[in-house]
Amino acid sequence: MFSDCIDSNPSDKRDTRSGFGAALLQLGKRDDRVVALSADLTGSLKMEAFAEAFPRRFFQVGIAEAHMMGLAAGLAIGGKIPFTGTFANFSTGRVYDQIRQSIAYSGKNVKICASHAGLTLGEDGATHQILEDIGLMKMLPGMVVVNPCDYNQTLAATLSIAAYEGPCYLRFGRPKVPVYTDAQADFKIGKGILLKEGSDVTIAATGHLVWESILAVRELEAQGISCELINIHTIKPLDEYIILQSVQKTGCLVSAEEHNYLGGLGESLAGVLARHFPVPQAFVAVHDSFGESGTPEQLMKKYEIDRSAVMEKARRVLERK
């Protein structure tokens, strides 16, 4: 059984960050508690429309991310729903202790929104290509971690985290990627989405790797390998049920993500398997290294987080069943 997005070849390509920007504007119109903070990356985060429409509720903090996180916590104390916007690197590693103490431990309703995550920001290189952010954020008690896959899902996820009471980390990216999820689809935090049923191998992907996995599944199916494909847009809380249901049928798992294998989705899934139903698992992820300059396509190929890598890992994990 193929769902629509497995079959389709969408001509529309958009960046996930634009989905965030569009949702932020919608939120601004519908709820005056929504405020936005930018650390001198308003354009990169696609927050200009919000800033123009709601100047009093937009806080330009300059290149001062640590201060921005505290400011957001303070605004949350005053009943606001703050959305912080900067690159993923500066949204997490640079400000980890501020998030830990002033937001997570303090239970503040702050939405940490992070663009340019992973290798696919491309030419800027490893200083900006954080591959550790999912791990950093998922380790914080009470933190929700969401990594949507395309424009529509990022838009829906942004609306969804606004309605959720508590700290959230929303991770999205820079490049334009196919728009293939249904714009009307319901987004539920913590609920994986079964994109295709299959019987030989389960592929659980997040973020930009969902599309790469769709491309891989098409080829694997043509080669006679029956794949079950799941979009895990929420790394925490993790939909353990959908994974266990699937691997009980297929007997093996490939996890796919634009992140270090240490600390990422794959590691969380390995924990689920170890605790409940051990089966072989292969990791499509960056293997404990920094990135480098290059185009997104070149980087995904070199660091083995593209369609070919998903196919290769699927074949290998099947041999271990």
The residue from 4, 53, 105, 295 that contacts other proteins (CB under 8 A) is: 105
Which residue number, 6 or 95, has a Cβ lying nearer to other proteins? 95
The residue from 26, 44, 106, 245 that contacts other proteins (CB under 8 A) is: 106
Tokens representing residue 279 in the block: 């089966």
Which residue number, 72 or 230, has a Cβ lying nearer to other proteins? 72
Which residue number, 44 or 106, has a Cβ lying nearer to other proteins? 106
Q: How far apart are CA 199 and CA 227, in angstroms?
A: 6
Q: Please compute Rg for the chain using Cα positions.
A: 19
78 scored as a contact of other proteins (CB under 8 A): yes
Report in angstroms how near the CB of residue 96 gets to other proteins at its nearest: 10
Region near other proteins per CB under 8 A, out of 41-49, 93-101, 131-139, 227-235:
93-101
Burial (0-12, 13-18, 19+ Cβ within 10 Å), 193 = buried
Q: How far apart are CA 165 and CA 22, in angstroms?
A: 21
CB 74 within 8 A of CB 106: no
- In order of 58, 61, 93, 159, the CA distances from 207 in angstroms are 27, 28, 19, 17
Region near other proteins per CB under 8 A, out of 94-102, 177-185, 197-205, 209-217:
94-102
The residue from 27, 76, 134, 243 that contacts other proteins (CB under 8 A) is: 76
Region near other proteins per CB under 8 A, out of 43-51, 70-78, 116-124, 250-258:
70-78
Region near other proteins per CB under 8 A, out of 40-48, 59-67, 185-193, 240-248:
59-67
Which 3 state secondary structure label does DSSP give 153?
A: helix
- Reported residue count of the chain is 321
75 scored as a contact of other proteins (CB under 8 A): yes
Q: How far apart are CA 76 and CA 70, in angstroms?
A: 10
CB 135 within 8 A of CB 1: no
52 is catalytic: no
Instruction: Catalogue the active-site residues.
Output: 65
Residues lying near other proteins in the complex (CB under 8 A) are found at 35, 56-57, 59, 61-62, 64, 66-80, 82, 97-98, 100-102, 105-107
